[in-house]
Amino acid sequence: MKRTLVIILFFGVLVGWWQLATMTGRWSPVLLPPPLAVVEYLWGALRDGTLLEATQVTLYRLLIGYFMGIAIGLPLGLLTSTSDYSEDTIGALALGLQTLPSVCWVPLALLWFGQTESAMLFVVVMGTVWSVVLATDAGARSIPPIYARAARTMGSEGFDKWTRVILPASLPYVVSGMKQGWAFAWRSLMAAEIFVTILTGFGLGHLLQYGRELSAMDQVIGVMVVIVVIGLIADKILFSPWERFLHRRWGTGLK
């Protein structure tokens, strides 16, 4: 109860400052629209369906790209953690490509795939995979070796050891890898949508970009708010259950 109150107070004050700043008249409303204008835009876009449609298109791309990235990245990460050879090769490649901002994939994607959904997915997957590989690899390397030793003395080797010990033991790291991947997928998709204009779907990034082209700052800020809110909700829905599960089993976490 008290915490909810603090949250409301904090954001209330933030919006209040914003409102006050616009009322001073020092900044043109074209550059800094009042909060109410943003709310008005969001309400309008919600009612004429553009916002929902754009959100739907974006989420669809995001989820497909994200799960492809996870499906490739998690096994690769576990693989690089198990041998020095794969670490020196795939691991080094992942490290190199992870430093590459995902927007740098856009020119390549456009030339290879043209202005298509595939180009969009390619950028998201490339932006996601490498960070997932690195997070999973780092995690799986920190599994206490005593688990594997204990399992071996109980007669658990090979496939049985992998499925019953290594995989569950790496679960906390897999989840952090997935979380990392989510953040990177979201960023990559927004970069792709802002830079790649395609006819098959009109996403949130496009909405943002058109807001800029029309100098509709209320639209720009409104879409940014939507992007932040979606990120927060996804975090709650996708990862909180896992984190609660880990917390209950491993006894980790600060609370």
Partner 1 sequence: MTLAAATSFEINASPPAKLLVEAVSKWFRTPRASVQALDNINLTVAEGEFICLVGPSGCGKSTLLDIIAGLTMPDQGRVLADDQVVAGPGRHRLVMFQDSALFPWLTVFGNVMFGLKRVPDLTRNQRREIATYHLKLVGLEKFGKAYVHELSGGMRQRVALARSLAPDPRVLLMDEPLAALDALTREQLYLDIQDIWARRRKTIILVTHNVREAACLSDRVFVMSPSPGRLRDEFRLDLPRPRDVNSPEVAIIASKIMAALKGHLSVAPEAVE
Q: Which residues bind partner 1 (CB under 8 A)?
A: 144, 146-147, 149-156, 160, 164-165, 168-169, 171, 248-251
Residue closest to 134 by CA, chosen among 93, 194, 105, 83: 93
Min dist CB 201 to partner 1, Å, is 40
CB-side neighbour CA atoms (13 Å) of 113: 18
Min dist CB 64 to partner 1, Å, is 30
Between 152 and 212, name the residue whose CB sits nearer to partner 1.
152
Dihedral over Cα of 52, 55, 61, 65: its sign = negative
Between 39 and 161, name the residue whose CB sits nearer to partner 1.
161
Min dist CB 215 to partner 1, Å, is 54
**Structural contact between residues 73 and 129, judged by C-beta atoms closer than 8 angstroms:** yes
Between 86 and 156, name the residue whose CB sits nearer to partner 1.
156
Min dist CB 247 to partner 1, Å, is 10
Min dist CB 135 to partner 1, Å, is 19
Name, in order, each residue with C-beta under 8 angstroms of 179's C-beta and a sequence gap of 6 or more.
Answer: 235, 239
Name, in order, each residue with C-beta under 8 angstroms of 5's C-beta and a sequence gap of 6 or more.
Answer: none
Between 99 and 153, name the residue whose CB sits nearer to partner 1.
153
What is the C-alpha separation between 219 and 33, in angstroms, rounded? 10
Between 25 and 144, name the residue whose CB sits nearer to partner 1.
144
